[in-house]
Amino acid sequence: MKLSDIAAALNARVEGDGNLEVTRAVHPAEAEGPGDLALAMDKKLLPVLHQSKAVAAVVTEAAAIPDGLAGVIRVRRGATAMAGLMDVFEKPVHAEPGIHPLAWVAPDAEVGEGVSVAPFAYIGPRAVIGAGTVVMPHVTVGADARIGASCLLHPGARIGERVVMGDRCIIHPNAAVGNDGFSYVTPEPGSVETAKATGQIAGSNAMIRRVNSIGTVILGDEVEVGAGTTIDRGTVTATRIGDGTKIDNLVQIGHNCQIGSNCMLCGHTGIAGSVIVGDRVVMAGKTGVADHVTIGSDAILAASAGVGTDIPAKSIYMGLPAVPRAQFLDQVRGLGRLKRLFADVAQLKAALGDKAQGEG
């Protein structure tokens, strides 16, 4: 691929020889020769570029580059350029065309044009698989599920019955979409119900009865679900994930949740049932959200935030329990001053004690 073609894909400009042929993109320290394109958009990598064997590189607009490079692509924003470069040099998963003889596809399932179904995959009765979708080994798609076009289901993905998935979704290994919700009830108010109501435990969890989940999960277009993530179906209606939302590995989304579009939910986030999340919300790693909480659009929850109350739109919350960022930083500063405060109090007590003894 010519350097000029890569630059065009990135909407960037070339300095030097745009006809250079590039075969792979690499870290500057791993370049082996003229076919390697060194990625040095991070300023920390520029010193490495000086020692690199690469003759072509991608750098930011203002970066100072060493002599000896035959061609350079200059980009405005490194992170955006990285996304574009990964598209250019993408290495798609290996997928054989058609349905493998060792896959099981129900006779009444609908499989679109250009679908790949790998060995040991299961497609249940009346399921629909959209055109161009890739179903990798050991994937299960339950009865009546509807998978959109150009989706990618990685090995071991579990798509439950009646789940609806939009186009261009990616489900990573061992993610489970459409599990029963964690929903149980006792004949009389139990320990948690009484504790919430009165602040005391006045009941016991005798004869715990499950509440079956007859709803489903609906994913919008271009939703990505990370490895080991679980999304519970709604009790009666649907748990919904909006278009473009990206969910990291090991995330739990409870039953009846309504997640907006273009959200980012990072690893180990846990969202209890019936939570409403607006659009473009970011939840950093290990965020925990209590049930029936509403989080406004464009809010950011910092790592390990423990959310037990509603969060306003366009706000930053931190800590456990989660509070506004300014309040959290005040708390941290206060903790930092405690040692000095204790020393001052001890000194004051000693001075007062000496004075009292003198007067006595």
The per-residue pLDDT for range 230-280, each reduced to its tens digit, is 999 999 999 999 999 999 999 999 999 999 999 999 999 999 999 999 999
pLDDT of residue 299: 98
Inter-residue contact 250 to 268 (CB < 8 Å): yes
From-to residues of CATH 3.40.1390.10 in the chain = 3-88
248-266 CB burial, b ≥16 within 10 A, e <16:
bbbbbbbbbbbbbbbbbbb
Fold for the domain defined by 99-323: UDP N-Acetylglucosamine Acyltransferase; domain 1 (2.160.10)
Cis peptide bond upstream of 189, omega within 30: no
Inter-residue contact 121 to 136 (CB < 8 Å): yes
pLDDT of residue 33: 86
CATH 3.40.50.2020 fits 3-88, yes or no: no
pLDDT of residue 358: 65
CA distances (Å), origin 98, targets 50, 101, 254:
48, 9, 35
- Please give the structure tokens belonging to residue 100: 């493998």
pLDDT of residue 360: 58
From-to residues of CATH 2.160.10.10 in the chain = 99-323
Inter-residue contact 227 to 249 (CB < 8 Å): yes
**Per the residue annotation, which of 27, 255, 268, 292 is the catalytic one?**
255
DSSP-assigned letters across all residues of 117-182? E-TT-EE-TT-EE-TT-EE-TT-EE-TT-EE-TT-EE-TT-EE-TT-EE-TT-EE-TT-EEEEPP-
292 is catalytic: no
3-class SS of residue 317: strand
Intervals of the chain under pLDDT 50 = none
